[in-house]
Chains A and B, each alone.
Chain A
Amino acid sequence: MTGWWCASRVPKWARAPIPRWRNWWPRGGSQGVRSSQDYVRKAGAAARMMLVNAAAARWKVPATECTVERGVITHGPSRRRLRYGEVAAEAARLQPPQDIPLRDPKDWKIAGKSMHRLDIPDKVMGRPVFGVDVALPGMLHASIAQCPVFGGKLKSVDASVAEKMRGVKKVVREGDFVAVVADSWWRADQALQKLRIEWDAGANGNVSSETIAAMLRDGLADPKLPQARKVGPNIPRPTSTTPPWSRRPARPG
């Protein structure tokens, strides 16, 4: 929309008339720009037209006499200038155009070029605020021990040592976890290590990779599922196994 690189985040209103998959807004596989550029370009171009029209209406001049560059609208003959933001409220009340001409690729300024990323200078200085860096007034930190068995419960916990440790505010006992709350995460975690916890593993206490594999093998052997067992009338389906794993991110940020 002839904004500039730093202003080129997709605004909310540009998201509306878009084919979606199950009402999701999925991004992945580096497909974002490739799959969305057509409608994002149209949305940007439509917004530019509306902003120019709003500026032209304010100046009472034909929109064709206005040009845009880096988010600034200029009326050539009178040299008047307005920033997008200054006419955004008026532009938002205009009817979106139906016929939206897109810029010829040979006139592209950003698309198709390698641009410098804007986040990097801050990142080499350690300035970005990651989740682990968020601090709110009066904020406390917790370190949590969860029952190692899904469906298990906390049976008992002796927190007598932890509760006396520096910075510790509270030991929270809940159904399947216990947490130490302290004035810093390190202090909470140190105290957590001093808890003496007993878990009640419950019905899943004996579940292991072996028992899960056995359950699946039994399922495959079920005579009511012949098609799962055989590729053809006399050809058994080969089986292979893979251990369970999770896609948890590897950092606390």
Chain B
Amino acid sequence: MLKLNVNGKQHQVDVEPDMPLLWVLRDHLGLLGVKYGCGVALCGACTVHVDGAPVRSCVVPASAAVGKAVVTIEGLAAGGLHPLQEAWIEHEVPQCGYCQTGMIMSAAALLAKTPKPSDADIDRAMTNLCRCGTYTRVREAIHAVAASSASAAAKKA
């Protein structure tokens, strides 16, 4: 029995300790926004936050997340939209959408650490693969959120 904190809630799941976090989230907690892509930590479709860091949940054993805070796309913004999700809608980032929840989770972790990323910062952090080729709009949306939170911070100051 593993105790996991996912999206602010405590869960007990009866699974093998080596079952990847991805499959616990999808098959046992019903969080289907987390996607299986490659299964070998390459594509990033399965990206979730563990204690704020973006991880590829397809290769993280569930037991490694015990005692840590796991956040998925479903819990990124409690009851509303994260600024990145709003920007994703505004800039019409997704095409098929399969990789996009992982993209958004990677971008959210990037902005939490680097509020005003350069193109190079974005390229370094956003290693998620998108076969529709949405990369230019991903970058646009991240810059848009960085710019609007910078101007909001300036207004407060």
Please list the residues of chain A having a beta carbon within 8 angstroms of any beta carbon in chain B: 116-117, 119-130, 132-133, 166, 184-186, 249-253
Give 13 new A-B contacts, CB below 8 A, not counting A120-B88, A130-B35: A120-B92, A120-B94, A122-B97, A123-B94, A123-B100, A124-B81, A125-B85, A126-B34, A126-B74, A251-B37, A251-B45, A251-B98, A251-B131
Which one of B4-12, B15-23, B113-121 is at the A interface? B15-23
Q: Are B32 and A126 in contact (CB under 8 A)?
A: yes
Known contacts A125-B33, A127-B33, A128-B97: A186-B27 contact under CB 8 Å: yes
Cβ of B96 under 8 Å from chain A: yes
Task: Report chain B residues within 8 Å CB of A250.
Answer: 131
Distance in angstroms from B49 CB to nearest chain A CB is 14
CB nearest to B96 among chain A residues: A253
Complex: how many Å from CA A126 to CA B88? 12
Q: Are B98 and A184 in contact (CB under 8 A)?
A: no
Interface size class of B (residues with CB under 8 A): 20 to 34
Distance in angstroms from A109 CB to nearest chain B CB is 20
Name B88's contact: one of A124, A133, A252 (CB within 8 Å). Answer: A124
CB nearest to A186 among chain B residues: B23
Name B73's contact: one of A120, A126, A249 (CB within 8 Å). Answer: A126
Name A184's contact: one of B27, B32, B94 (CB within 8 Å). Answer: B27
Complex: how many Å from CA A121 to CA B27? 24
CB nearest to A131 among chain B residues: B98
Complex: how many Å from CA A34 to CA B148? 38
| 8 A-B pairs with least C-beta separation | A126-B33, A123-B97, A126-B101, A126-B73, A186-B23, A123-B94, A124-B85, A124-B88
- Majority SS at the chain A contact face: loop
Please list the residues of chain B having a beta carbon within 8 angstroms of any beta carbon in chain A: 16, 19-20, 23, 27, 32-37, 45, 72-74, 81, 85, 88-89, 92-94, 96-101, 104, 131
Known contacts A166-B16, A251-B131: A116-B74 contact under CB 8 Å: no
CB nearest to A166 among chain B residues: B16
Distance in angstroms from B2 CB to nearest chain A CB is 14
Complex: how many Å from CA A139 to CA B149? 46
CB nearest to A184 among chain B residues: B27
20 contacts between A and B (CB under 8 A): A119-B97, A120-B88, A120-B92, A123-B94, A123-B97, A124-B100, A124-B104, A125-B33, A125-B85, A126-B32, A129-B32, A130-B35, A132-B36, A166-B16, A184-B23, A185-B23, A186-B23, A249-B131, A251-B131, A253-B98
* Residue in A119, A122, A249, A253 with the greatest tally of chain B CB atoms within 10 Å: A253
Task: Report chain A residues within 8 Å CB of B88.
Answer: 120, 123-124
Q: Are A133 and B16 in contact (CB under 8 A)?
A: no
Complex: how many Å from CA A122 to CA B104? 13
Complex: how many Å from CA A216 to CA B9? 63
* Residue in A119, A122, A128, A185 with the greatest tally of chain B CB atoms within 10 Å: A128
Q: Are B37 and A186 in contact (CB under 8 A)?
A: no
Name B92's contact: one of A116, A185, A186, A249 (CB within 8 Å). Answer: A116
CB nearest to B20 among chain A residues: A186
Q: Are B131 and A117 in contact (CB under 8 A)?
A: no
Known contacts A126-B32, A250-B131: A121-B19 contact under CB 8 Å: no
Distance in angstroms from B6 CB to nearest chain A CB is 14
Distance in angstroms from B34 CB to nearest chain A CB is 7
Distance in angstroms from A192 CB to nearest chain B CB is 13
Distance in angstroms from A137 CB to nearest chain B CB is 14
Task: Report chain A residues within 8 Å CB of B104.
Answer: 124
Q: Are A125 and B37 in contact (CB under 8 A)?
A: no
CB nearest to A249 among chain B residues: B131
Task: Report chain A residues within 8 Å CB of B45.
Answer: 251
